[in-house]
Amino acid sequence: MINFWKEYRPQLVVLAIALIYVFATAPLFRGSAALYSVLLGFATIGIVALGLSVTLIAGEFDLSVGSMASVAAVLAVRLSGAGVWAAIGVTVVTCALIGALQGFLIARLRISSFVLTVATFALFAGLSWVIAGGSPVSVKDFAATSFLYERWGSVLAPDIVVALVLFAAIGLFLHWARAGREIYAIGGARPEAISKGVSVTRALTIAFGTSAGCAALAGTMASLKVGSAAPNDYGNLLLSGVAAALVGGIGIRGGAGTVGNVILGVAILSVAASGLSSAGAQGYTIQLVTGGLLLVMVLVDFAELRPTARTGRVRPAKAT
C-alpha cells in the first residue's frame, strides 16, 4: 500500500482533488450513474491512451492515433452491412497491421517516429474523407448494432467490458511477457538493449501495432454505438489520449510507467470531464481543463526529475 502511494503520489493527489471538486460542485454526480459515466471514458479515451502509452514506453510517439480512430470509425460503419462483428474485426486488424507497418518502418529506416506519424496523421485524416466519400456515413441496420447499448448491471456495458479486458491483457503483456519487457528495454536504454540482442524492429512493430489497433477499436466501438461517423470525427482523441497517458505519469522519455499510470490518468480526466458536464459545463471548459492538467502534470514531472538530470541546459533533441 505504501509502495502504491509512493509510486503514484502526484496522480493520486490530483485524482482526490478532482473527486472532491466534482462532488462539491455537481450534485447529480453520485453513485453508480457517476461510476458508469467515468467508466465510459475508459472505452474511448482510455483505450486510445492505453495504446499510446505502449509507444511512449518504447520511447516513441504516435501522433496518428486520432486520424487512425477516424479512419476506423468510418470504415467500420461502411462495413457494418456485412455483420457487426466482421466489421469490427476487419477494421481493427487492418488498422493494427497498418500501425505495425509504421513501427517496422520507424525501426528499419531509423526515422523519428514523430516525423513519420505526423505524415500519417495527415494521410489518415485525408483517407477518412475518401473512405466516407466526403460526407457522414451511417449504419443501415440499427438493430444489428443496438446490442452496444445494453447494460449489464448498473455500471457495465459491452464497450466498458472490452476496455477493462484490454487494460488487463496489455497490463499482463507488458509486465510478464518477454516481448513486453523488451519494449521497456528499448524505451529505457536502447543502446544497451540492442547490445544485449533485443530487436528494436520487433519492439516497435508490436508497440505501433498495439497503438493503432487500440485507436481503431475505440473509434469502431464509438461510431457503431452512435450508428454514424463523419470524416475525421475522432481527431481530438489524440489530445485526450496524450493527456491521459502523461497526466497518469507515463514518462515521455520512455522505459517508465505501467498500466496503473494509464488507469489513473484516464480516471482523472474522466472524472473531471463527466463531473464538469454533469454540472452543466460546456465542451470547451473540459478542453481547457484537459490542456491545463496536461501542462501542470508535465511541469510536475519535470520538477521531480533528479537535479543531475537537469543541468540548466535544454535536453538535446531526441529525433533523427
Using CB under 8 A, count the residues that bind another protein.
56
d(CA 18, CA 40): 17
Three-class secondary structure of residue 110 per DSSP: coil
Select 102 or 210, whichever has its Cβ closest to another protein: 102
Give the range of 15-23, 31-39, 171-179, 239-247 binding another protein by CB under 8 A.
239-247
- Minimum CB separation of residue 318 from another protein in Å reads 9
Amino acid of residue 118: V
- Which x/- pattern, by CB under 8 A, does the window 94-133 give for another protein? -----------x---xxxx-xxx-xxxxxxxxxxxxx-x-
Select 9 or 315, whichever has its Cβ closest to another protein: 315
Closest CA to 186 of 178, 173, 172, 198: 198
Amino acid of residue 317: A
Give the range of 157-165, 202-210, 238-246, 270-278 binding another protein by CB under 8 A.
238-246
Select 57 or 294, whichever has its Cβ closest to another protein: 294
Residue among 231, 255, 257, 275 that touches another protein (CB under 8 A):
231
Residue among 24, 93, 194, 319 that touches another protein (CB under 8 A):
319
Collect all residues with Cβ–Cβ distance below 8 Å to 152 and sequence separation of at least 6. 158, 161
For every residue of 29-78, DSSP letters joined together read --HHHHHHHHHHHIIIIIHHHHHHHHHHHTT---TTHHHHHHHHHHHHHH
Per CB under 8 A, contacts with another protein among 283-312 are 283-292, 294-295, 298-299, 302, 310
**φ and ψ at residue 228, rounded to 5 degrees:** -155, 165
- Minimum CB separation of residue 290 from another protein in Å reads 6
- Minimum CB separation of residue 251 from another protein in Å reads 10
The residue whose grid cell reads 491521459 is 244
d(CA 49, CA 33): 23
- Minimum CB separation of residue 115 from another protein in Å reads 5
The DSSP symbol for 152 reads B
Q: Using CA atoms of 180, 184, 190, 191 in order, give the dihedral in degrees to the nearest 10.
A: -80
- Minimum CB separation of residue 113 from another protein in Å reads 11
Q: Which residues bind another protein (CB under 8 A)?
A: 61, 63, 105, 109-112, 114-116, 118-130, 132, 134, 231, 238-239, 242-243, 246, 252, 282-292, 294-295, 298-299, 302, 310, 313-317, 319-320
